[in-house]
């Protein structure tokens, strides 16, 4: 008897998150789409089910302790283990402002979603990931979180000097390494994925990569075999510098 693998993707009702969910469902995973809005979540899941995929909506606000705990409990009531967790939910914050002028409240909001959200969700779903015996966690980062890249004048993102967003992704990268080291004894692999500059609502659809291209690295990391890496930072070209 074949046991269906399971996956949960945060921020999965649109954009890159929805494409990751679609790809994992196409790979045969039962996928939960974690998002706050019931209507949008159910609509997104229904689109996948219409194509014969096993997709369900899971109410989840990554900034709210109680919401995350309730989502973990709800998922535990539907499955005994979780094979893949993709921490995709994120916000941009105050692009266009100098780091000297970016409001503190905006920076705090970005960190709440982009840093504390993935940590909060990972910790809450850890019992289900441990039960998998081969769990995979993907942190959706960005090359804007690479300190070395941002110090390289030849890098295409050198001039994108956004305090809140950039530093939140650097912090997420550090969290990725820390969690990966702690989770390794349980057979869990944890890696950071950079989808590249992708056309999404977050950037006003100015990106030059498609969501299909952007999802590739996350799906690859989500489906690693036992020989795959952990505590790494990757984009479509390979390993990124921290």
Is 165 assigned a catalytic role? yes
**Spatial separation of the C-alpha atoms in residues 88 and 100, rounded to whole Å:** 28
Question: Which entry of 29, 111, 169, 233 is annotated as an active-site residue?
Answer: 169
Structure tokens at 173: 């990268």
Is 169 assigned a catalytic role? yes
Question: Which entry of 165, 189, 197, 233 is annotated as an active-site residue?
Answer: 165
Q: Which residues are catalytic?
A: 165, 169
């Amino acid at each position: 008897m074949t046991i269906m693998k399971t996956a949960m993707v945060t921020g999965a009702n649109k954009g890159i998150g929805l494409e990751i969910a679609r790809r994992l469902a196409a790979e045969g995973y039962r996928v939960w789409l974690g998002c706050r809005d019931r209507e949008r979540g159910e609509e997104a899941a229904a689109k996948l089910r219409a194509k014969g995929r096993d997709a369900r909506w899971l109410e989840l606000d990554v900034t709210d302790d109680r919401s995350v705990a309730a989502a973990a409990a709800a998922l535990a009531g539907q499955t005994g283990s979780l094979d893949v967790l993709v921490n995709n939910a994120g916000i941009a914050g105050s692009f266009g402002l100098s780091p000297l002028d970016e409001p503190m409240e905006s920076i705090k909001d970005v960190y709440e979603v982009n840093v504390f959200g993935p940590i909060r969700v990972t910790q809450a779903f850890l019992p289900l990931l441990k039960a998998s015996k081969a769990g995979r966690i993907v942190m959706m980062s960005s090359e804007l979180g690479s300190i070395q890249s941002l110090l390289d004048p030849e890098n295409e993102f050198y001039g994108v000097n956004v305090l809140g967003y950039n530093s939140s992704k650097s912090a997420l990268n550090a969290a990725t390494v820390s969690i990966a080291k702690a989770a390794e004894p349980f057979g869990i692999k944890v890696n950071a994925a950079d989808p590249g500059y992708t056309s999404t609502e977050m950037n006003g659809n100015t990106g030059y990569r498609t969501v299909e291209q952007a999802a590739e690295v996350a799906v690859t990391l989500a489906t690693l075999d036992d020989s795959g890496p952990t505590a790494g930072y990757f984009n479509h070209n390979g390993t990124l510098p921290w």
